[in-house]
Structure 1
Amino acid sequence: MAPTEETLSSDADDNPSAARASSESPQSAARMPRWLPRAMVLALALVACYRLATWAFDQLTGLLLNILIAFFLALAIEPAVDRMAARGMRRGLATGLVFLAILVGTAGFFTLLGSMLADQIITMVQDFPKYLDDVVNWINDTFHTHLSRLEIQDSLLHSDWLQSYVKNSADNVLDVSAQVLGGLFKTLTVTLFAFYFAADGPRLRRALCSVLPPTRQVEVLRAWEIAVAKTGGYIYSRGLMALISGVAHYILLEALGVPYAPALAVWVGLISQFIPTIGTYLAGALPMLIAFTIEPWYALWVLIFVVIYQQFENYLLQPRITARTVDIHPAVSFGSVIAGTALLGAVGALIAIPATATLQAFLGAYIKRYDVTDDLRVHGRTRRRGASALARMRAALARRG
């Protein structure tokens, strides 16, 4: 029999808790769980922290790169500082003397090149009418025209593009000044960090080891020694390539009769090796400019030689030298430079080889190596097809015996 309203009301009166549960069940089902607000707040906090960390990393990328450069610079000069400190000199004073020697050498080098470049620019400006006359005469003789140097100069001086160029150059003076000041500030930042890393090297190592267990301390110290050795080998390889490059370019410039050939050779060697990415172009531009003042065709010969030598250095000379000095395979050396350039630009190209060599040497201690089987294929040779099974069996028995 179907329940009636009277029976339902009587059941509700007899069991009030069941009636209250049935009336509250729709409300409790629609109510938000207690953990959901906390989860939403936690998710928003995590997103905010991630965005804040990303923003901070973007803002500090330049500083982190400067610190990385300073660290490898400190590793490069640490052997010299250690030698002077072993003789009783304070590390701070020894580091200061090393940086002073670097500063004096760099200032003297650029002062000499600056005076040389100024003389050549003055010579080029004075001889510019002669160059223009030669070009105009060649055009008139070749194409049977009647051009005049005075008309060309007058049209150039009164042209709209020259006036707009001068105006834009004057407007960009502040931008250039800001870039120069920014470069000086970055140089000062790198120098200060490198000084502290080199002068307080033992203290820094003690600070790192104090928060690590003894087994980890040994690994950190070994990694530090490997980094110093590999960075020193990298600097040595760069110096050797700078010497080879300088000698090669000196022979060319001396053969062409370009003035200041020794200074230009030193310029090409140092700039092309220690300034990544654009160093080759900066190094080759100055000899081309000075060669142009002697004979315009000489500048073309210098350009061709620079391009050919750069390919020879990139694909043959540099991989072989770094394989010996840094103990890294030529293919790994070449690939690390490409990868470093893709990741960090010029900074990555500069520190790619020592960083890769350090990582390779450090991880090599944890790789277990086995004896290689005595197989002809291991040595790059193949078995002769005419060899009989009996001969192979005799060879196997001889190896076992």
Structure 2
Amino acid sequence: MKIHSPFRTALVATLGVGLGIMLLTSVQMLSTVLLYIGTALFLSLGLDPLVSFLARRGMPRWAAVVTTIVAVLGAFSAIVLIVLPVVIEQISQLVAKVTDLIIHGDQTVQSLRKWMTETFPNLRVDDVFAYVQDWLAKEDWARNVAEWSGSIGQGVLVVGGAVLTGLFGAFIVLVLTIYLTASTPSLKRAVYQLVPASRRQRFIDIADQITDSVGHYVMGQVTLGVINGILSSIYLSIIGAPFTAVLAVIAFFFSLIPLVGTLTGSAIIVLACLLPGVGSPGTAIAAAIYYLIYMQIEAYFLAPRIMSRAVAVPGAVVVIAALSGGALLGLLGALIAIPVAASILIIYRQVIIPRMNDQ
């Protein structure tokens, strides 16, 4: 290739590199905004099946959107108003219990020593405690405590700022979700107009499959979380587990996380049942047995039926998608990774494979 003007070529190359850097910097600066938009779009697609259901029953689109938003916000507000006072009370009890354990550490150690002696008669408990005491003596705990105390004030400010940022972000996401849910058909039509007329019908069919799959996935995951939360509340109340409301909320929210959410939430609940003074090994064992059974029922009975209208994703793809999404976008990435993988599978099966077979 003959270069007529080295200066002009270098200038164009420099401008191209600068433009690329500027675009990457802009995306990085707008990452929070893009995250808000992605979250709102994900939620609006989750609400779209309910809006479509009401619209098919003769309700105008705007009325269906308003009814859905009001119903969701009303249900969420009712749950918060009912559960929040109990959760706050039980969290206060939990903090008081942990504080008491720290203040009366000697009594706690003696109780733990007595329990280990009675539970494991063949274990040399005195040797275990001697080893732990020797290990603690080697560590400079006084200096660590001083460092932790000095960072408490800074930690409080950081937590306060994070809470305010989270509330602001939740408000922005709520507004965007309402707007996107109300304007979903017009947005779809605007996107469809960008596709050539000869391929438009095929594109519309695949796009509708993708949006329906994402919507049914979101609704199904929320349904699984509600089932787990309600059943956990009932069963934990029966076995006398501590902080039942708090643990039921934990079961609900962790069930929203695909793949490992139920397992992680169950492990936290079982460990909470082992807290000295409020729980017991028997309660923890009963909770562990229940969650082992529940996870099998959820995996082989509940999830296949609730998720029957969503696109089936192979197990290996689920693991890879969840890990990749979590690494890129954290918890939100893990939540949206599976519907994104399902969308890619739809394109792969209905576009790429038929095109390759035609060649």
TM-score, length of structure 2 as denominator length: 0.72
Structure 2 residue 320 is the aligned partner of structure 1 residue 347? no
Aligned residue in 2 for 1:47 = 17
Distance 1:308 1:278 in 2: 14
8 Å contact from structure 2 (residues 273, 284) kept in 1: no
Specify whether residues 118 and 303 from structure 1 end up closer, same or farther in structure 2 by C-alpha distance, changes over 3 A only.
same
Aligned residue in 2 for 1:117 = 91
Specify whether residues 50 and 305 from structure 1 end up closer, same or farther in structure 2 by C-alpha distance, changes over 3 A only.
farther
8 Å contact from structure 2 (residues 45, 215) kept in 1: yes
Structure 1 range deviating more: 106-115 or 128-137: 128-137
Tell me by how many angstroms 1:169 deviates: 0.6
Tell me the SS of whatever aligns to 1:47. Answer: helix
8 Å contact from structure 2 (residues 192, 203) kept in 1: yes
Structure 2 residue 323 is the aligned partner of structure 1 residue 338? yes
Distance 1:234 1:139 in 2: 49
Structure 2 residue 77 is the aligned partner of structure 1 residue 104? yes
Distance 1:95 1:269 in 2: 25
Distance 2:76 2:161 in 1: 23
Tell me the SS of whatever aligns to 1:87. Answer: coil
Distance 1:135 1:291 in 2: 15
Deviations 1:327-360 (A, max 9, x none): 3143233333233334433222101222222332
Specify whether residues 327 and 282 from structure 1 end up closer, same or farther in structure 2 by C-alpha distance, changes over 3 A only.
closer
8 Å contact from structure 1 (residues 288, 303) kept in 2: no
- One-letter amino acid of the counterpart of residue 41, structure 2: F
Match of 1:274 among 253, 256, 261: 256
- One-letter amino acid of the counterpart of residue 334, structure 1: V
Superposition CA RMSD, Å: 4.2
Aligned residue in 2 for 1:87 = 59
Distance 1:129 1:53 in 2: 55
Aligned residue in 2 for 1:75 = 45
Tell me by how many angstroms 1:315 deviates: 7.9
Query: Structure 1, unaligned stretches of length 5 or more?
Result: 1-32, 148-157, 370-401
Distance 2:305 2:126 in 1: 52
Aligned residue in 1 for 2:193 = 210
- One-letter amino acid of the counterpart of residue 324, structure 2: A
Equivalent positions of 1:276-315 (< 5 A) are: 281=264, 284-285=267-268, 288-289=271-272, 292=275, 293-295=277-279, 297=281, 301=285
Equivalent positions of 1:370-389 (< 5 A) are: none
Distance 1:180 1:46 in 2: 41
Equivalent positions of 1:1-400 (< 5 A) are: 34-85=4-55, 86-88=58-60, 90-91=62-63, 93-94=66-67, 96-101=69-74, 103-105=76-78, 107-108=80-81, 109-122=83-96, 125=99, 132-136=106-110, 139=113, 142-143=125-126, 161-242=144-225, 245-246=228-229, 249=232, 253-254=236-237, 256-259=239-242, 261=244, 263-264=245-246, 266-275=248-257, 281=264, 284-285=267-268, 288-289=271-272, 292=275, 293-295=277-279, 297=281, 301=285, 324-331=308-315, 332-366=317-351, 367-368=353-354
Tell me the SS of whatever aligns to 1:104. Answer: helix
Query: Structure 2, unaligned stretches of length 5 or more?
Result: 118-124, 131-140
Specify whether residues 112 and 42 from structure 1 end up closer, same or farther in structure 2 by C-alpha distance, changes over 3 A only.
same
Structure 1 range deviating more: 165-174 or 354-363: 354-363
Structure 1 range deviating more: 121-130 or 236-245: 121-130
Distance 2:266 2:210 in 1: 29
Distance 2:293 2:188 in 1: 42
8 Å contact from structure 1 (residues 341, 347) kept in 2: yes
Task: Look at both structures and tell me which one has the larger radius of gyration over its CA atoms.
Answer: 1
Number of positions where the alignment pairs a residue of Structure 1 with one of Structure 2: 327
Distance 2:348 2:231 in 1: 38
8 Å contact from structure 1 (residues 66, 189) kept in 2: yes
